[in-house]
Structure 1
Amino acid sequence: DPERVMRSYPHEMSGGMGQRIMIAMMLVTEPEILIADEPTSALDVSVQTQVLSIIDRLVRERGMGLIFISHDLKLVSSFCDRVLIMYAGRVVEVCEADKLDQATHPYTRGLLGSLPDIREPKERLEVLKRDETWRIAESVSGRT
């Protein structure tokens, strides 16, 4: 009911409805690129799926580019085409999303190794060992 939603305050909206409203607000200006920063965080799985479906449909129908920012590597690998892994503001690895499990950078490997996997239960997840050289290494994007 658009009339009811229009008269409502933000705190009266569900998380999913709030995300839908934010998507609508972003699209008013008809952008060529949609930047979605954690668009599904704090949403339950069914609402996440709805929001991702809306974003996917809009990007395809409008021919827009999408920059999808997320800490959820499983979601990223299933929703995106290409993945850029950043550490300390620098791109440390770029790979096709369907080949994320073949990533080679130690930081990316550490992130992947810290994810729980029901197929390989562990008593404790790995702790990511950070290397100070990652912070000062040249970005693979060519920019420092």
Structure 2
Amino acid sequence: YSPNISLAFSSVAHITRDVQYGWLIRNMHANGASIFFMCIYLHIGRGLYYGSYLHKETWNTGIILLLTVMATAFMGYVLPWGQMSFWGATVITNLLSAIPYIGNTLVQWIWGGFSVDNATLTRFFTLHSLLPFAIVG
């Protein structure tokens, strides 16, 4: 995989088409992530049913983990860098500009400049690779 704005989509297509079982690895990664989220939502539902939200510290830790997992998934969604993922990265990260005082600065910091570009893709690739270890550990 190449976290470069010009090569990302082509490198994903190359992995899917030309690498032996690349299509299988990509599909297992995507479908495995979907199954993982289904398990998370079932776990949250079970916690709601049994009143686990009354244990504030444990519940808040779970919320932080959920938000971290969702951020990791979003960064992985952006990596193929097709038109929809490019648009998604721009729109969703730009929502942070609604935060008073620091919003615009925060968006520019995440993007690595004034627009979504190579710096953004490199950051998202790095975080998508490293955050699962932070979540587990």
Task: Pick the TM interval, shorter chain.
Answer: under 0.3
Q: TM-score, normalised by structure 1?
A: 0.25
Q: TM-score, normalised by structure 2?
A: 0.26
> Which one scores higher on RCO, CA 8 angstroms, separation ≥ 6?
2
Larger radius of gyration: 1
